[in-house]
């Protein structure tokens, strides 16, 4: 059976993942699969059995100590089947893992100082339209990376306020539709067709409703946030952990903020972590190791990361994390 299929697996939870997927779609066509970080390996294991798969792109899906070896093994299996693989990401990756990925002749595009969509644009711009540079600029803004070398140049092409508006509308539409994969795939399709977020039906209303939810979170953070010596933390019950974490950080005066939400059916807490500009440690590396030690997984950037922690270990996670920040 001839291998003819092109698939892009990308991160579903933010504009960087959606933006990267839309640029890959524009440049190469094919199908899009959107997953969260815990869903990466399940999706890859399924693709391993796809006899039509010819070309695979993996975008904005960082690795952790829990899954990095399995990731390499699945890529090895796919390469044995002559599947062409490109992995584009900006999360922290151990040097030993990068060497193993490159040894498989996987195209690795990896910089921690530019968001994934900017790297996709910079790598494949000869195949992309000018509009894709706007999507890359929006992704840089939402990932707090608009001051980086390539991202800043892309942002300068456009009116800053226009980018900020479109990036926020896009982000609020993504975060408010995390349980609606069909809508998220629709966003990928429309962005790849050179549409602006404001041109899509109901996007401003969805953004307004999400803004109302966010404004309601502020008061709840003020009332329920707790503090340790080196961090502030809060359990979230009626919004996403990532929605609250910046308020937990900003309103506490601490250098690190943590929010977490119980996923009862999985028996885990989804944890979001943010650090202030003054934070001097690499939070992603600390969380990666600590989450692994506690039977979970995690990782990310120096000042923005996340984790999945077993339900019964969340108090221990907070205690040990606070200790490691001393």
Secondary structure of residue 100 in the 3-state scheme: helix
**Which residue, 144, 166, 201, sits at the end of a domain?**
201
CA-angle at 199, arms to 193 and 200, nearest 5°: 80
Judgement on whether residues 52 and 95 belong to the same structural domain of the protein: yes
Q: What share of the chain is helix, strand, coil (3-state, %, to 5)?
A: 50, 20, 30
Residues of the chain under the 50 pLDDT cut: none
For residue 143, the tally of other CB atoms under 10 A from its CB is 26
pLDDT for position 240: 83
Give me the CATH number covering residue 248.
3.10.310.30
Cβ-contact 11, 181 below 8 angstroms? no
Q: Is residue 210 part of a domain?
A: no
Shared domain check, 28 and 130: yes
Residues 191 and 304 in one domain: no
164 and 308 belong to one structural domain: no
Residue 212 maps to a domain: no
Domain, as residue range, for 310: 218-324
Counted domains in the chain = 2
What pLDDT does 1 receive? 72
Per-residue pLDDT, 267: 96
Which pair of tokens denotes residue 91? 């999360």
Q: Could you tell me if 40 and 122 lie in one domain?
A: yes
Q: Are residues 93 and 144 in the same domain?
A: yes
- Tell me: do 84 and 178 sit in the same domain: yes
What is residue 78's predicted lDDT score, i.e. its pLDDT?
Answer: 98
317 within domain boundaries = yes
**Nearest by Cα to 54 from 2, 10, 104:** 2
Residues 196 and 235 in one domain: no
Instruction: Give me the pLDDT at residue 81, please.
Output: 97
Q: Is residue 206 situated within a structural domain?
A: no
pLDDT at position 261: 95
Q: Are residues 160 and 226 in the same domain?
A: no
Q: Which of 168, 201, 234 is at the close of a domain? A: 201
181 and 272: one domain?
Answer: no
In whole angstroms, give the CA distance from residue 139 to residue 44: 25
Which domain-ending residue is among 166, 201, 236? 201
Q: Are residues 19 and 61 in the same domain?
A: yes
Evaluate whether residue 22 is within a structural domain.
yes
| Residue 65, in any domain of the structure | yes
Same domain, 92 and 168: yes
**Considering the domain boundaries, does residue 127 fall inside one?**
yes
pTM of the entire predicted model? 0.95
Supply the CATH number for residue 49's domain: 3.90.1640.30
Any domain includes 208: no
């Amino acid at each position: 059976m001839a291998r003819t299929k092109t698939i892009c697996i990308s991160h579903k939870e933010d504009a960087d993942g959606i933006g990267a997927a839309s640029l890959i779609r524009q440049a190469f066509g094919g199908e899009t699969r959107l997953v969260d970080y815990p869903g990466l390996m399940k999706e890859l294991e399924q693709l391993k059995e796809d006899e039509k798969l010819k070309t695979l792109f993996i975008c904005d899906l960082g690795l952790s100590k829990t899954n990095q070896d399995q990731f390499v093994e699945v890529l090895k299996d796919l390469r044995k089947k002559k599947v062409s693989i490109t992995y584009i990401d900006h999360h922290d990756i151990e040097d030993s893992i990068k060497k193993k990925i490159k040894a498989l002749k996987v195209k690795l595009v990896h910089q921690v100082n530019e968001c994934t969509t900017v790297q996709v644009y910079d790598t494949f711009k000869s195949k992309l339209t000018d509009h894709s540079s706007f999507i890359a600029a929006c992704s840089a803004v939402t990932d707090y990376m608009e001051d980086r070398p390539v991202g800043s140049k892309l942002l300068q092409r456009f009116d800053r306020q226009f980018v900020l508006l479109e990036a926020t509308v896009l982000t609020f539409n993504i975060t408010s539709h995390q349980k609606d994969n069909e809508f998220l795939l629709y966003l990928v399709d429309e962005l790849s067709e050179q549409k602006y977020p404001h041109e899509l039906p109901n996007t401003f209303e969805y953004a307004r409703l999400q803004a109302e939810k966010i404004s309601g979170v502020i008061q709840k953070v003020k009332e329920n946030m707790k503090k340790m010596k080196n961090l502030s933390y809060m359990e979230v019950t009626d919004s996403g952990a990532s929605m609250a974490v910046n308020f937990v950080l900003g309103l506490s005066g601490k250098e690190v903020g943590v929010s977490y939400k119980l996923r009862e059916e999985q028996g885990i807490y989804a944890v979001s972590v943010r650090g202030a500009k003054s934070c001097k440690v690499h939070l992603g590396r600390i969380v990666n190791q600590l989450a692994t030690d506690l039977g979970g997984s995690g990782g990310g950037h120096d000042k923005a990361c996340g984790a999945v922690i077993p339900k019964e270990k969340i108090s221990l996670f907070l205690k040990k994390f606070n200790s490691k920040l001393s």
